[in-house]
Amino acid sequence: MMADRKPLISGNWKMNQNHFEAIQLVQKLSYALTKDDITAVDVSIHPPFTDLRSVQTVLEADKIPIALGAQNCHWEASGAFTGEVSPAMLQKLNVSYVICGHSERRQLFGETNEDVNKKVKAILKHEMTPIMACGETLEQRESGEMEDHIVDQVLEGLAGVKKDAVGGLVIAYEPIWAIGTGMTATPDDAQQMCAFIRQTVEEKFGAAAAKAVRIQYGGSVKPGTAPELMNQPDIDGALIGGASLSAEDFAHCIQYRLR
């Protein structure tokens, strides 16, 4: 992690925790973290939509310095889109970060790079920060298509986004074979791909954007694997699924510097 990019550690709760459980988890997490932890690292949590209002209330009432995040959104501000949630609604709840293009959305719900691009732009327009996810399947890695696939995801996802805005974004590199499998990428493999993503950003958007953009690694990050991953020069944070559902494990990941 380079000194001038503040790490961002994000907990993606996926479709877990009802709003009562969410309140408990946030409170436990706030007890497990110290002021120093939150000064050194930005932290965001991404509960399901039905929990956002409850979690926002707890974070604000107890002045817990954890950013509120969402897992997805639609690109339109309002309209006839049954079942969707708009970026304007998230902005009203003081959501800071919105994940878009998670591999589960791409694989299970058919999201395309074009959809992700519309979401990135809509999130920016509503003054929130996109965490744009990308990652390859095991098949793509083994057949040597991995790099082309990542370039397409990154460049098509960011098409038409201004250089200055790109520097403020977060990109999450999440190899699909590492998600929820316990098979973390080695720190070297993760570093190599995060450096490759940074280089891709540099070629298209310039050195300043590449230097500023934060790149997270995601895929079976646990307290034991977080320190070595976070020590890599191009890894600026982690997007954590399973381990973020335990306040203790998530706090230990955030405290990677102490381990």
In the complex, what is the shortest distance from the CB of residue 46 to ligand 13P, in angstroms, rounded to a whole number?
Answer: 8
Given 102, 111, 126, 136, the catalytic residue: 102
In the complex, what is the shortest distance from the CB of residue 76 to ligand 13P, in angstroms, rounded to a whole number?
Answer: 24
**Nearest of 168, 179, 196, 198 to residue 238 by alpha carbon:** 179
Neighbours of 40 (CB within 10 A): 15
102 tagged catalytic: yes
Measured distance CA(30)–CA(251) in Å, rounded: 9
Measured distance CA(130)–CA(228) in Å, rounded: 25
Residue 65 touching ligand 13P (CB under 6 A): no
Residues 86-105 that bind ligand 13P (CB under 6 A): 102
In the complex, what is the shortest distance from the CB of residue 70 to ligand 13P, in angstroms, rounded to a whole number?
Answer: 13
* Binding segment (CB under 6 A) for ligand 13P, from list 29-37, 79-87, 89-97, 218-226: 218-226
User: Contact with ligand 13P (CB under 6 A): which of 81, 139, 180, 259?
Assistant: 180
Residues 3-42 that bind ligand 13P (CB under 6 A): 12
Residues 229-258 that bind ligand 13P (CB under 6 A): 239-243
Residues 133-162 that bind ligand 13P (CB under 6 A): none
Given 104, 111, 136, 174, the catalytic residue: 174
Specify whether the CB–CB gap between 61 and 79 falls below 8 A: no
Compute CA distances 165 → 129, 160, 212, whole Å.
9, 10, 10
State CA 167 to chain mean position distance.
Answer: 15
Compute CA distances 189 → 115, 183, 222, whole Å.
28, 12, 17
Q: Which is nearer to ligand 13P, 12 or 72 (CB)?
A: 12
Residues in CB range of 159: below 8 A, 6 or more apart: 117
136 tagged catalytic: no
Residue 221 touching ligand 13P (CB under 6 A): yes
Binding residues for ligand 13P, rule CB under 6 A, total: 14
User: Contact with ligand 13P (CB under 6 A): which of 220, 225, 232, 246?
Assistant: 220
- Give catalytic residues, as residue numbers: 102, 174
Please give the residue ranges that form the binding site for ligand 13P (CB under 6 A). 12, 102, 174, 179-180, 218-221, 239-243
